[in-house]
Amino acid sequence: MDFVFKIAGQAGAGVMTTGRVMVKCFTRGGYNALGYPEYPSLIRGGHNTLQVRVSDSPIHSPLQKTDLVLALNKDAIFYHMDSMASGGIMIYDELIDTSKFQKRPEVQMHPLPLAKLTQAAGGTEQMKNTAALGAALAAVDYPFAIIEGIMQDEFKRKGEAVVKQNVDAARSGYDYVKGKGIRASKTMKPLSDKRKMVITGNEAIALGAIRAGLKFYAAYPMTPASTILHSMIDNERRFGLVVKQTEDEIAAIHYAIGASFAGVRAMTGTSGGGFALMTEAMGLAGMTETGIVVAVAQRPGPSTCLPTWTEQGDLRCVLHASQGDFPRAVFAPGDVQECFFLTAKALNMAEKYQTPILILTDKNLAETAFSTEKFNQSKVKIERGKIAKDLPQLAPMTRWKRYALSEDGISERVFPGTPNGMHVTSSYEHDETGFSSESFAMRNAQVDKRARKLEAMAKEMEAAKVYGPKDAEVTLVGWGSMKMAGLDVLPMLEARGIKAKFVHFTQLFPLEPKIAKRPFRGSKVLIMIENNSTAQFAGLLKQHAGVEMDFHLLKYDGRSFFPEQIADEVVKLKEAGYQGAKEIRVVEKEDLEYYNPQRHGL
């Protein structure tokens, strides 16, 4: 059983809050649920929407079709009528004049007196979204007691009066729909009372970092990375963190480098344009061999571009950021569990290898809320690497060899103030004590020393995971958030007569050839799915592992892939005998612009 809700309206109407509450309602009833948001790059105004997908089976991504839309304004009717499933229901505010809209006879239209309902319940204009929530849940016959429990949890900090207002507002919409006999195509009853979490990708990154011993986080707000900063602030006192909102991204990464040099586990986070400002400091961390983690939440680029939409276009950017050669690792989680555990692994590797480690997420994963099992925190082990203690006394006029030419490329480090650990650290090339050196031999030796870390790092990078049957006729390949649609498309393809499997990479660099090739044994047609225009990871796989894709399925219009879109393109390829152009570009059929409703005459 699969059912898709969508709540939509103007910014400030409570769309995002209501959608997340709905995700929690169904999660508490034992369902798998996710809440996928879309909104334009406006401080105020514009069209906001949140899709809530609910299923009794595992789900990972939003879908194209919607079964029930809650339209809080006229824009919502226009934007979402065409994407409604046949037999779907649109519940809308009765104050909206629908006479100018083209109706679809296979979609039920039900006006709702939201203002009257909330007033009668003693609520305010701002609670219309809560009444609409009650109406949606009544349409699928979901028990009101669960909504009431969620309201208690959500608003108890604001006092019993606020809790009662919201419960009464939800009850008013619920009872109205019940009284009118409005019914959706499916009925949803609780499956169990097993508790699960509801959490976004960014929140999972923050919690993974905290569990792994993070003590310092610095960042400047930038969509879609900002909620990592928000989560850190929310947990600052509880876990003894120092969280700094800096004046800009340049300051943020330098704060993190300074904290790490002082012996504190440190991290920063940003999006593409912010990371562009951080690239010089990435080189500083590389030269000084200071381990930091940088989370980069991708959005379309270049420059400011589409700040609130999604893309996977920053892989090459983070891989080559800053001049010169120095080691780094790049992780790209595909779900909230991977966000948690890969962040912990990134912090360990940053300190063990004393170099920058990057976590690549994107708006699609960063801001979507998922129901999930609690994280198994016992799996997280803290590894800090080579830290020198109890050093012998230095001879007069000598320094400790902080950058000793070790066989594995990793030198012991000390924290400031360690007796007999005096050394120099700067942005210049240096000798083993850190003192600036322009010796040709020492320059070569230090570059080679730093490069030796990559060999050990590559051995720590896990192979891609394979989902689906071994004897599949088609192998889909993806990285990071492509896991969401990549998993959900497999049963769709099976229903259409195509046996497919999905190979998912989370650890993108360094790539050890044997490890990278392993998941492709026995594979036939290889199709890379990427949210960028140049198949960046496909090129990386070919370059470092000699694996070449047969086709590149690319999308870069601001939305991620819906699984239905992937299924359609794979079916077309099969019908063509897996022949044709290597580059397949997918664009949304509807050219909508939430930023500018006037363009559509709204």
- CATH class label, 462-585: alpha beta
Q: What distance in Å separates the CA atoms of residue 108 and residue 106, rounded to the nearest whole number?
A: 7
Q: What distance in Å separates the CA atoms of residue 145 and residue 160, rounded to the nearest whole number?
A: 17
What SS3 state is found at 423?
Answer: coil
Q: What is the DSSP letter of 158?
A: G
Ramachandran bin of 130, using left for φ above 0, alpha for ψ from -120 to 50, beta for the remaining angles: alpha
pTM of the full structure: 0.96
Domain boundaries, the chain: 2-195, 199-379, 462-585
- Amino acid occupying residue 405: L
Asked if pLDDT for residue 375 goes beyond 80, the answer is yes
pLDDT tens for each residue of 76-125: 999 999 999 999 999 999 999 988 888 899 999 999 999 899 888 887 77
Q: Nearest to residue 266, comparing CAs of 216, 228, 219?
A: 216
Q: Decide: residue 574, CB within 10 A, 0-12 exposed, 13-18 middle, 19+ buried.
A: middle
Tokens 């891609």, located at residue: 464
Would you place residue 594 in the very low, low, confident or very high pLDDT band (cuts 50, 70, 90)? confident
CATH 3.40.920.10 fits 2-195, yes or no: yes
Q: What percent of the chain has pLDDT over 90?
A: 89
Asked if pLDDT for residue 599 goes beyond 90, the answer is no
Tokens 């359609």, located at residue: 568
Q: What distance in Å separates the CA atoms of residue 279 and residue 285, rounded to the nearest whole number?
A: 10
Question: What residues are paired with 556 via a beta bridge?
Answer: none
Q: What is the DSSP letter of 561?
A: -
Assigned CATH topology for domain 199-379:
Rossmann fold (3.40.50)
pLDDT tens for each residue of 484-516: 999 999 999 999 999 999 999 999 999 999 999
Buried b (16+ CB within 10 A) or exposed e, 387-422: ebeeeeeeeeeebbbbbeeeeebbbbbbeeebeebb
* Mean pLDDT computed over 277-303: 98
Asked if pLDDT for residue 600 goes beyond 80, the answer is no
Per the CB < 8 A criterion, the answer to whether 5 and 67 are in contact is yes
199-379 and 462-585: identical CATH topology: yes
Confidence (pLDDT) at 130: 94
- Amino acid occupying residue 333: P
